[in-house]
């Protein structure tokens, strides 16, 4: 029986069951259960079916959210999945890790009216997991096979989305990645309690079965072909390397052992969770067990680090952030999860020095106050004189964000134009770089951003590459006729 919509007054907002903090902090399993069919239909039926759907407007992929919510409420799950997959290459991933509280759900009309947003992410996850369980998700089978090939550098969200869309159009696609698994940030940067690695591996298998060729442990110009060789080998290239150069703290004692970069810490934890031998973890360097841990930063990466440290059995975990809770860049939902699990947040405080001899033993911090807004519109943190204090720390994790690597140097291609921030400069109307037939997208163009924006760029780049190759083929055909 179909469910009527606009039931937000009748039904309160309800998320799927969440495992108790005392239980979930003991492992790296996902913290939410799945909706049952009745629960998913009930929550989907809360949608107001707005004339102007702000949830869709504020989704980088412009997913048809009200439509697939209605289909879910009516039990039309296969149609709901087909509609969700039409605009999103990986809905099962976005349903888990998108910061819905800052995007679709944060802009839900009934959220603004005080009724609590529709639980869009949880319903999206339910739709796609049902589709996988029912066998509705199949490898891509292109209607035509094209002779042109496209090389993609980077097997993260942007690269995989581009590969998926190009393969749908029948292009031969080869993906090159420095890591030994498909997924990039999805497999090594995001902890299992947010994204079960089996979900990523399942999608990777589908892409392989579709005929996409992956070259792993293949650093361009290092353990693999040069950038120039890739340009000769393929009809077009897409650069989706992401940004991996960690921003460093600038304070006395920052070089002490025990102060580590966030990505090094997360990669070690994820590799360990995947069953790999990780010497830096087994030596204790990247293991938080029985340690006082201080994570510096307030973004989603910092939240991943504090929640990982809790699961590794840290003695205490503190997050040091120079602004307040309302001005932090990370998801408020993640902060709530972290607090439930035992993380202590030290707001409006910044590290001033790191103390220790053979290794770090404490962080000397200073209280901050929020001054006038800066050029970005955010209130500028200012130190409060004489407010220094110390935090015990056996392990300090720097989670200050990421910058691009020197791609011009790594690729040996000085003609590849970069911005003043070191990201790749592109023409946003074509997504082409300064090099003919070379395109780019994702974090290497935007700077460190969200997975969903990487997927958007990958899909847009695939369309642009198709237009470029089609125009070139047409031009070559005209030349052949003339000759």
Per residue in 296-347, pLDDT (tens digit) is 999 999 999 999 999 999 999 999 999 999 888 888 999 999 999 999 999 9
Helix (H, G, I), strand (E, B) or coil at 10: coil
- Three-state secondary structure readout of 44-55: HCCCCCCCCCHH
Return the sign of the alpha-carbon dihedral for residues 276, 227, 229, 149. positive
33 — pLDDT class (breaks 50, 70, 90): very high
Query: Which of these, 212, 173, 202, lies nearest to 93 by C-alpha position?
Result: 202
Domains and CATH numbers, the chain: 21-134 (1.10.1060.10), 149-243+404-482 (3.50.50.60), 249-402 (3.50.50.60)
What does the block give as tokens for 208? Answer: 């392989």
- 37, containing H or E segment: helix 37-44
Nearest-CA neighbor of 224 among 180, 184, 183? 180
Model-level pTM? 0.94
For 374-427, strand residue ranges (E) read 379-392, 395-398, 402-403
Residue that is written with structure tokens 């395109």 in the block:
439
Give the pLDDT confidence score for residue 374 in this predicted structure: 83
CA dihedral 286, 291, 292, 295 (to 10 degrees): 20
Q: Bridge-partner residues for 295, per DSSP?
A: 319, 397
Rounded Cα distance, 409 and 407, in Å: 5
3-class secondary-structure state, position 83: helix
* CA distances, 341 to each of 301, 304, 367 (Å): 17, 12, 25
Quick check: 227 pLDDT over 50?
Answer: yes
In the predicted structure, residue 445 carries a pLDDT above the cut 80? yes
User: What's the rounded Cα separation, in Å, for the pair 76 and 439?
Assistant: 38
The distance of Cα 145 from the centroid of its chain, to the nearest Å, equals 31
Q: How many CB atoms lie within 10 A of CB 107?
A: 19
**Average pLDDT taken over every residue of the chain:** 94
């Amino acid at each position: 029986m179909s469910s009527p919509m606009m039931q937000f007054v009748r039904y309160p907002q309800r998320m799927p069951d969440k495992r108790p903090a005392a239980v979930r902090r003991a492992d790296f399993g996902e913290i939410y259960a799945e909706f049952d069919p009745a629960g998913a239909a009930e929550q989907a039926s809360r949608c107001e079916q707005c004339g102007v759907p702000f949830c869709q407007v504020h989704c980088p992929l412009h997913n048809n959210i009200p439509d697939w919510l209605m289909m879910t409420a009516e039990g039309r799950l296969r149609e709901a999945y087909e509609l969700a997959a039409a605009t999103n290459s990986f809905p099962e991933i976005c349903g888990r890790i998108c910061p819905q509280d800052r995007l679709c759900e944060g802009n839900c009309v009934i959220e603004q009216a005080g009724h609590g947003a529709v639980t869009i992410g949880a319903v999206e996850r339910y739709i796609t997991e049902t589709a996988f369980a029912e066998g509705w998700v199949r490898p891509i089978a292109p209607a035509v096979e094209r002779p042109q090939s496209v090389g993609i550098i980077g097997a993260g969200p942007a690269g995989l989305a581009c590969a998926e869309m190009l393969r749908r159009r029948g292009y031969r696609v080869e993906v090159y990645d420095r890591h030994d698994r498909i997924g990039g940030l999805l497999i090594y940067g995001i902890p299992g309690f947010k994204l079960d690695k089996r979900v990523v591996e399942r999608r990777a298998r589908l892409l392989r079965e579709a005929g996409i060729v992956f070259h792993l442990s293949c650093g361009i110009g290092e353990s693999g072909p040069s950038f120039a060789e890739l340009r000769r080998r393929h009809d077009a290239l897409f650069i989706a390397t992401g940004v991996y150069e960690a921003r460093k703290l600038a304070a006395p004692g920052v070089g002490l052992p025990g102060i580590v970069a966030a990505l090094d810490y997360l990669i070690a934890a994820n590799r360990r969770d995947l069953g790999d031998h990780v010497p830096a973890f087994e030596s204790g360097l990247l293991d938080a067990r029985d340690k006082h841990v201080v994570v510096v930063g307030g973004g989603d990466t910092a939240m991943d680090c504090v929640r990982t440290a809790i699961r590794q059995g840290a003695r205490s975990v503190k997050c040091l952030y120079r602004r307040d809770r309302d001005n932090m860049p990370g998801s408020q939902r993640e902060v709530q999860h972290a607090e439930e699990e035992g993380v202590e947040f030290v707001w409006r405080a910044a590290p001033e020095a790191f103390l220790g001899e053979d290794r770090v033993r404490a962080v000397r911090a200073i209280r901050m106050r929020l001054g006038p807004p800066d050029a970005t519109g955010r209130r500028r943190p200012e130190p409060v004189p004489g407010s220094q204090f110390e935090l015990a720390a056996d392990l300090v994790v720097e989670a200050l964000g990421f910058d691009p690597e020197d791609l011009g140097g790594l690729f040996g291609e000085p003609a590849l134009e970069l911005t003043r921030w070191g990201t790749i400069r592109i023409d946003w109307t074509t997504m082409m770089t300064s090099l003919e037939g070379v395109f780019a997208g994702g974090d290497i163009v935007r700077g460190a951003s969200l997975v969903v924006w990487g997927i958007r760029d990958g899909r847009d780049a695939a369309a642009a590459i198709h237009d470029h190759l089609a125009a070139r083929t047409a031009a070559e055909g005209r030349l052949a006729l003339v000759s």
